[in-house]
Structure 1
Amino acid sequence: MLGSPWNLKRTYKRVIKSVDIPKIRFHDIRHTHATLLLIQGVNPKVVCQRLGYAAIRLAQYSYSFQIRVPKAKTARLFTRAAYSSCVALV
């Protein structure tokens, strides 16, 4: 059973070894998870909640280079929405 963090980590190591893939630290999966969510435009506050951070500042510092991509995406989405709203008014 995977009830404790130690069992999960031990099982993870066994699976990685059995499929003969490059060793990846278990904690790196956490960073990958956060990075992928931020790149997809998930709100940093939501990402922090998923990672268990008490404050958003730590995640903003740790992943600030990843937050830039969603900002550009947000700008495009806003522009598209604003344009659609303006066209609908005409």
Structure 2
Amino acid sequence: MNVSFPELGLTRNDCLEMSWVESTLYCANFPNGTSIDVLLDRVQENRVFSKSKSDYYKALIPKQGLETLWEGLMDIEDIFVQMNPYGGRMEEISD
């Protein structure tokens, strides 16, 4: 990350590397290290529902564009934003 994005100033402690299925546990607020077998339990402890939308950008978003985006998001009271860079591979996928 420091090679590609030195301006973020990230350290190893800021990042968690995990598989996709492990990330489902992370996003569901299970403690790190929870076995994926917990997904076989059909009892829902908390019933939180949401509606999601995905947008895939194939071109670089300029810094000013990101700043404008963040300014707009700060006005929304209850929001969750997840950005997945996909290693810049979305550009390789045709419409």
TM-score (norm. length: structure 1)? 0.22
Higher helix proportion: 1
Greater gyration radius: 1
TM-score (norm. length: structure 2)? 0.21
